[in-house]
């Protein structure tokens, strides 16, 4: 049986509604996408195929945005065969038929159940990263993991650069399970050759880099006397040289594409002094000034660059630090570190991630060369 349904039926759906367009006497709604431009502002809520999937040459392909997965869409086959799933780079287009003729569904499908809903608003979703590729260093844990997750939910294709493969795999799996798109590369950002291979792999997969988040970093405790040369070099290698390497190798791709966004993770200690952070403060001060330099040098290339300066954020690093140094009074020290910030608690990684989302979105297009504290009042109210 060949099923033909013309798209004017879809146009009867009222703008701004969530009305199900399935016919009243049908178990589902049969639809053939003929002109992609006619299905803008529609997205798939549910997509189920009963029977064998057609062959790939003339088969059915579901193109889905990450937001679709978040609202619970599903795609499954019953009775054998697999339905090919791929990611679509352009927002608003959600379903298509492959082949020379886009006006029929072959008889190998006994039932196509496609429920379409119109978006609740014709305006662009705020803080959307749909269609953009975001490279996030240290994206497998802590603040980096939160940024990876939030960016994926906002529609970005996330490319995680990590040293910890288990953390990278876990974060990528979580993003994919939530309907997002993510990949990871194992990379030591302190080694330029390693970063070069990784950026090349990202370009091979994603074809572009729209956003670079320099999040990877290591911490150090000590003053100018107690900090050894080896420790100083270790901090510099990752926190400063690592940022330089990623900038050096990613910026040319942004220039070629006509623009992009760089977001560096500095720290409140790049703007103020606290005890025993000599090497760490040095490194984050360098991140701050690199932010200013990149913003200035690449402004005419359509590239914005900002940094976030977090105060103490409750991450696995903090837990590890407390477990190692205060095993007998861990809770007491956790409370002490928390109330040291005027707001009375540590920050959450996701709170930094949402600030990052704003700064990397088109809504922040007039913002560049700035440092944004996410600090619970630490800098100005302590």
* Tens of each residue's pLDDT in the chain, 382 residues: 222 322 222 333 333 222 233 333 333 333 333 222 333 333 333 333 323 333 333 333 333 322 222 222 333 322 223 333 333 222 232 333 223 222 333 322 223 333 333 333 445 678 999 999 999 999 999 999 999 999 999 999 999 999 999 999 999 999 999 999 999 999 999 999 999 999 999 999 999 999 999 999 999 999 999 999 999 999 999 999 999 999 999 999 999 999 999 999 999 999 999 999 999 999 999 999 999 999 999 999 999 999 999 999 999 889 988 998 899 999 999 999 999 999 999 999 999 999 999 999 999 999 999 999 999 999 999 7
Residue 255's φ and ψ, nearest 5 degrees, are -60, -45
Residue 265's φ and ψ, nearest 5 degrees, are -100, 105
Residue 165's φ and ψ, nearest 5 degrees, are -65, -40
CA 100, 102, 103, 107: dihedral to nearest 10 degrees?
80
Q: Determine which helix (DSSP H) or strand (DSSP E) holds 176, and give its type and residue range.
A: helix 165-177
pLDDT at 102: 26
pLDDT at 117: 33
- Domain 133-381: which CATH number of 2.40.110.10, 3.40.50.720, 1.10.1740.10, 3.40.50.150: 3.40.50.720
Q: Measuring CA to CA, which residue among 147, 142, 248, 124 is closest to residue 190?
A: 248
- Catalytic residue list: 280
Angle, helix 142-153 to helix 165-177, in steps of 10 degrees: 20
CA 284, 248, 236, 187: dihedral to nearest 10 degrees?
110
pLDDT at 124: 62
pLDDT at 324: 86
Angle, helix 142-153 to helix 349-360, in steps of 10 degrees: 50
pTM of this prediction?
A: 0.71
Where, residue-wise, is CATH 3.40.50.720 in the chain?
Answer: 133-381
List the Cα angle 23/54/64 in 5-degree steps.
65
CA-to-CA distance for 270 and 281, rounded, in angstroms? 6
């Amino acid at each position: 049986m060949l099923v033909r349904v013309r798209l004017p039926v879809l146009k009867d759906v009222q703008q701004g509604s969530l009305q199900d367009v399935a016919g009243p006497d049908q178990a589902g709604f049969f639809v053939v996408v003929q002109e992609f431009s006619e299905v803008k502002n529609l997205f798939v809520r549910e997509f189920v195929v009963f029977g064998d999937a057609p062959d790939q040459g003339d088969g059915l392909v579901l193109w889905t945005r990450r937001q679709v997965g978040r609202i619970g869409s599903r795609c499954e086959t019953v009775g054998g065969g697999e339905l090919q799933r791929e990611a679509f780079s352009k927002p608003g287009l959600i379903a298509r038929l492959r082949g020379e003729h886009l006006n029929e569904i072959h008889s190998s499908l006994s039932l196509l159940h496609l429920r379409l809903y119109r978006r609740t608003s014709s305006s662009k979703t705020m803080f959307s990263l749909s269609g953009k590729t975001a490279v996030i260093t240290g994206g497998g844990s802590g603040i980096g993991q939160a940024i990876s997750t939030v960016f994926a939910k906002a529609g970005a294709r996330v490319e995680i650069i990590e040293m910890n493969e288990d953390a990278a795999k876990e974060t990528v799996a979580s993003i994919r399970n939530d309907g997002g798109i993510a990949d990871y590369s194992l990379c030591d950002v302190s080694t330029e050759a390693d970063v070069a291979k990784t950026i090349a792999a990202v370009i091979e997969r994603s074809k572009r880099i729209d956003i670079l988040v320099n999040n990877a970093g290591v911490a150090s405790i000590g003053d100018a006397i107690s900090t050894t040369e080896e420790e100083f070099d270790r901090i510099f290698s990752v926190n400063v040289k690592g940022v330089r390497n990623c900038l050096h190798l990613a910026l040319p791709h942004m220039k070629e594409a006509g623009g992009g966004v760089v977001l560096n993770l500095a720290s409140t200690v790049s703007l103020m002094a606290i005890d025993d952070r000599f090497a760490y403060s040095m490194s984050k001060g360098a991140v701050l000034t690199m932010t200013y330099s990149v913003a200035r040098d690449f402004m005419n290339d359509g590239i914005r660059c900002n940094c976030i300066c977090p105060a103490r954020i409750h991450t696995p690093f903090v837990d590890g630090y407390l477990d190692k140094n205060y095993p007998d009074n861990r809770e007491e020290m956790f409370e002490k570190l928390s109330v040291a910030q005027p707001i009375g608690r540590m920050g959450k990684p996701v709170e930094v991630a949402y600030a990052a989302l704003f700064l990397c979105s088109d809504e922040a297009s007039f913002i560049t060369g700035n440092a944004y504290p996410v600090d619970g009042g630490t800098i100005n109210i302590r």
